[in-house]
Amino acid sequence: MNAARAASCLLLAIGHLACTSVHAVDYPYKPYSEGKLDPQPSGWPLSPAELLWVEQPEYSRKPGHEAHKHLPEMWPVTPTAGHWKPKAEGDGNRWLQNHQTLVSLVQAAKGSVDVALLGDSITQAWGGGWNQAPVNPAWAGRFPNLKMLNLGIGGDRTEGILWRLEHGALDGVSPRIIVLLIGVNNAPLVTANGIPPARVAEGIHLCVGNLRERCPNSQIVVVKTLPGFAHQSTVHADIQRINSAVETLKLDSDPFVHLLDLWTDFTESDGSLKKAAYAGDDLHLSNAGYEIYASRLQPLLEKLFSKQ
């Protein structure tokens, strides 16, 4: 597949063209795979048509829109660029701007990366990344000598990760380890929009498959979605259902893929959230929460590095 991708990318000297139809994995929504939904299903930099496409609101670009159908079950498994509302007129899609910044950071890394972090705002808050925030104390304290590349973007869901991977997110680098944490922003859409939890799990599976194809020598740590939202809420229960569906996929049957389950680290014996681990919104982590996360991640990373 990598050879096919390379052959299809007759890079850019003519007409700002890029890969248009070759993917690292097969997606269940055929119009996407056939190039009938997204003008540029893969490749970087973006074509003029793709730039115009991703400036539109995200939900007008979801699967089914092109056929005037509501297909939420296809959302988590179909690459879709996110969209942040502009702060001011003419500000454009800030989500895309952040992705562009991350692609530049990847290119500047020149292939040498110990750990790449991929995910949403919980990942973004490790520091570095598109906004070059200070490195989180828990990461700095436990992993001071690792070259880390933070590819987190707040609000991302599985479909956003898939789109980013198809459009340059890790092109040109082969991290020794990739840590993927995604799914918590998919959870509020499960019951509200009738998305089967298994579809979100399949989206996570597709993210892993995409990473395995692009970075075949990288070890991949899949952190199961952290508990969030009020203990008795439907969304909290849907996170559990997503994690249960991930378990059935047996992702770690691949020796390059490793599951990390932190559920009991962030919950009390009655199932409620450990308040001290969260930053007051039952979703984002406090410094104490990141220390818990880092303490569980450290021995696994050390084990994986020792095998390389």
* Number of domains the chain is built from: 1
Rounded to whole angstroms, what are the CA distances from 14 to 50, 53, 131, 291? 16, 21, 32, 49
Report the helix count and the strand count for the chain, using DSSP H and E.
11, 5
- Between CA 82 and CA 99 the distance in angstroms is 10
Residue 259, pLDDT > 80, answer yes
Closest CA to 165 of 41, 17, 29, 13: 41
Gyration radius (Cα) of the chain, Å: 19
* Tens-place pLDDT, residues 159-196: 999 999 999 999 999 999 999 999 999 999 999 999 99
What is the reported pTM? 0.92
CATH of the domain at 165: 3.40.50.1110
Q: What was the pLDDT predicted at 10?
A: 32
Give me the residue label for tokens 């997204």: 38
Could you tell me the residue range of the domain that residue 131 belongs to?
2-306
* Tens-place pLDDT, residues 266-276: 999 999 999 99
- Between CA 207 and CA 155 the distance in angstroms is 16
Q: Which residues pair with 150 in a beta bridge?
A: 117
With vertex at residue 38, the alpha carbon angle to CA 34 and CA 40, rounded to the nearest 5 degrees, is 85
Look up residue 58 and give its two tokens.
């995200």
* Tens-place pLDDT, residues 8-38: 333 322 232 322 334 678 899 999 989 899 9
Q: What was the pLDDT predicted at 85?
A: 82
Are 76 and 196 in contact by the 8 Å Cβ rule? The answer is no
**Percentage of residues of the chain with pLDDT beyond 70:** 92
Helices (H), ranges, 194-271? 197-214, 234-249
Look up residue 268 and give its two tokens.
């009390």
Average pLDDT over residues 76-103: 91
Which DSSP category does 116 fall into? E
Helix (H, G, I), strand (E, B) or coil at 57: coil
